[in-house]
Amino acid sequence: MPILQWLDKDKTIKKANQSPYRLLESDPSLSYGDQNSGNMLIQGDNLEALKALLPYYANRVKCIYIDPPYNTGSAFEHYDDNLEHSKWLDMMYPRLELLRELLTEDGIIVTHIDDVEQPYLRVIMDEIFSRKNFVNCIAVQDSHPSGLKLSSKEKKIIKTKTYMVVYKKSDTMKIKPIYKKRHEWDTHFNIYMDVDSKYLKKELLKTVIMKYGVVDENFKLDKQSLLNQKFKDFCFKNRNKIFQSTKELPDEAKQLSLKIKDIPYEYISGGERNFALNGRRMSPLSKSLYNIGIDGEDKEDFAKLLCDFWDDVDFNNSQNEGGIQFPNSKKPEYLIARIITMFSSENDLILDSFLGSGTTAAVAHKMNRRWIGIEMGEHAKTHCAARLQKVIDGEQGGISKNVNWQGGGGFRFYHLGETIFDKDGCINKNIKFEHLAAHIWFSETKTPITDKERSPLIGIYNKTAYYLLYNGILGDKSVSGGNVLTTKTLDALPKYNGKKVIYGETTRLSSLRLEENQITFKQTPYDIKAR
């Protein structure tokens, strides 16, 4: 597997671990709607914000979509999109490391990028996620060869696409197949067989539609046939009677069908009726009809499987979506909706750490997903928060009509707060018990804390109980307010008959006593992993 090297890479790969853990401080004045929904809009550097999320959301995010700076040299207002190459890699590598930790085992990450950094992104994602977890690189047509682009057509090949690089965390990931509307008739479907008739026979489709007066004598059965509504309606109604021939066929059925030339042969396979003709399997038109659109909510129609080239997403009107102006980089809501449909289900958690104008959060909200969005600078308020407030109020742009969006829900707005540990690794004196407990739990178990009850027993993991004596959690007047492990303190702790890890200022129990009670004592702050 190729390994990418760049200036100061050794420092870069340590950056995620060295980034300090910070608190996330809720701001009620910027929060909106139902603040108990669990949706989070975070203002601040996304490296530190991602680190702050780990104790609470590690292994909980189902789908991540990010649209980082492309490093194209075309700087715009809110980002430095003209980063020197090594600095771009320096920015991306530690953030991707943290994003991987936040993903569920069956989670997926989609990174939207253009061809300037796409090859290098692939290599570093191979390192972080493993090459075997590469899913695909989807090409997205986001523009057309027109206008000023054509002025350089004699000097370069006009670029009209970007890429979405897709990685999974493990093999447990599943994709929901997406189908898009087929506008052209597949001329291979040219055989009609009335499978409900007592006497099964083969007829040409064109002969049948002429016989029943579906079309007139001037009608041509070609790619444009679906433009004829009467023909389309007939085919839709008779989907199980219109066939194309394919090669895949069980050998026994093949041989039997060859013995009765031009006569359909019926056989059962997989508990279903199947048909063969002249040694070939007959595939019904019904297998070319699927629910199309966002979350399959649209009606059944002629469709084809969406693969790794998306040329049907309209980027021209995306600048007006959400009532927020964001130059040159706003992605259409329909594009994000398609990704969310493919890789998540309702109530799953969606994350975008380069939130931009807020599109990912807006779409996730309308599609009944939980979401976390991270943005730096004031436009986290002026763009993201403003847009999401409109969504909650029932904004009708983008995908709203597709999903019958009526408004509702809410979010909490967060700022990055103080660090949990100072530069020397000591506990910040302003840190509350629940914050330190969450950090200790994550550092010990690599899982997010779930129990929000204020108790010295943080939780039990792999048959080991974890305790924290801090800030007088026991509420008594024992040594250091109960922060020192003594006989009295031990008796006051919630009972657990098994291995125990207890964090505190110090212990007055002997080594023998600790061993008898299956206790591993760890001293704060020295035994706490500060990074």
Q: Is residue 223 part of a domain?
A: yes
Give kind and range of the element (H or E) at residue 276: strand 272-277
Shared-domain flag, residues 414 and 510: no
Tell me the C-alpha distance between 318 and 325, whole Å.
10
Q: Is residue 271 part of a domain?
A: yes
Shared-domain flag, residues 361 and 479: no
Residue 28: the pLDDT is 93
User: What average pLDDT does range 73-99 have in this prediction?
Assistant: 75
**Model confidence band, residue 76 (pLDDT cutoffs 50, 70, 90):** very low
What is the phi/psi pair of residue 381, to 5°? -90, -50
Instruction: From 418, 442, 467, give the residue that closes a domain.
Output: 418
pLDDT digits (tens, 9 = 90+) for 299-315: 788 988 999 999 989 88
Question: What are the C-alpha distances in Å from 216 to residues 184, 209, 230?
Answer: 20, 9, 11
Q: Within 10 A of 198 (CB to CB), how many other CB atoms are there?
A: 5
pLDDT digits (tens, 9 = 90+) for 175-188: 999 998 888 999 99
Shared-domain flag, residues 335 and 398: yes
Burial tier of 256 (Cβ tally within 10 Å: 0-12, 13-18, 19+): middle
Residue 265 has pLDDT above 60, yes or no: yes
Task: For residue 117, give every residue at least 6 positions away whose Cβ sits within 8 Å of its Cβ, in sequence order, or none.
Answer: 70, 71, 85, 88
Q: What domain range is 477 assigned to? A: 433-523
pLDDT digits (tens, 9 = 90+) for 6-32: 888 888 888 888 888 899 999 999 999
User: What average pLDDT does range 390-419 have in this prediction?
Assistant: 94
Task: Return the higher-pLDDT residue of 147 and 93.
Answer: 93
Give kind and range of the element (H or E) at residue 301: strand 300-305
Tell me the C-alpha distance between 332 and 399, whole Å.
9
Shared-domain flag, residues 444 and 338: no
> Strand, coil or helix: what is 298?
coil
pLDDT digits (tens, 9 = 90+) for 427-486: 888 888 988 999 899 989 989 888 777 899 999 999 999 999 998 787 765 555 678 999
User: What average pLDDT does range 70-84 have in this prediction?
Assistant: 58
339 touches 312 (CB < 8 A):
no
Q: Is residue 114 part of a domain?
A: yes
* Rounded percentage of the chain residues whose pLDDT exceeds 90: 62
Task: For residue 357, give every residue at least 6 positions away whose Cβ sits within 8 Å of its Cβ, in sequence order, or none.
Answer: 322, 324, 326, 329, 330, 383, 384, 387
Tokens coding 67: 């649209």
Shared-domain flag, residues 70 and 174: yes
Task: Return the higher-pLDDT residue of 531 and 363.
Answer: 363
Residue 339: the pLDDT is 97
Q: Give the rounded distance of the alpha carbon of 314 from its chain centre.
A: 21
Shared-domain flag, residues 261 and 390: no
User: What average pLDDT does range 255-260 have in this prediction?
Assistant: 92
Domain count within the chain: 3
Residue 317 has pLDDT above 80, yes or no: no
* H-assigned helices in 285-424: 333-343, 359-366, 379, 386-392
Q: What is the DSSP code string of 140-194?
A: EE---S-GGGGGGTTTSPPP-EEEEEEEESSTT------EEE--S--TT--EEE-
Residue 144: the pLDDT is 83
Shared-domain flag, residues 243 and 377: no
Q: Is residue 34 part of a domain?
A: yes
Instruction: From 368, 394, 418, give the residue that closes a domain.
Output: 418
Tokens coding 485: 């492990």
Q: Is residue 173 part of a domain?
A: yes
Residue 297: the pLDDT is 60
Residue 146: the pLDDT is 79
Instruction: From 351, 383, 418, give the residue that closes a domain.
Output: 418
**Model confidence band, residue 79 (pLDDT cutoffs 50, 70, 90):** low
Shared-domain flag, residues 404 and 448: no
Shared-domain flag, residues 137 and 205: no
Residue 75: the pLDDT is 42
284 touches 239 (CB < 8 A):
yes
> Strand, coil or helix: what is 437?
helix
37 touches 370 (CB < 8 A):
yes
Q: Give the number of residues written for the chain.
A: 531
Residue 36 has pLDDT above 60, yes or no: yes
Q: What is the CA radius of gyration of the chain?
A: 30
Residue 78 has pLDDT above 60, yes or no: no
Q: Is residue 215 part of a domain?
A: yes
Amino acid 253 reads A
pLDDT digits (tens, 9 = 90+) for 144-169: 887 777 777 778 888 889 999 999 99
Shared-domain flag, residues 403 and 452: no
454: left (phi over 0), alpha (psi -120 to 50) or beta: beta
Residue among 526, 130, 173 at smallest CA distance from 342: 173
Residue 504: the pLDDT is 92
Shared-domain flag, residues 171 and 319: yes
Q: Is residue 276 part of a domain?
A: yes
Q: Is residue 261 part of a domain?
A: yes
Residue 200: the pLDDT is 87
Shared-domain flag, residues 151 and 42: yes
Q: Average per-residue pLDDT in the chain?
A: 89
Residue 459: the pLDDT is 94
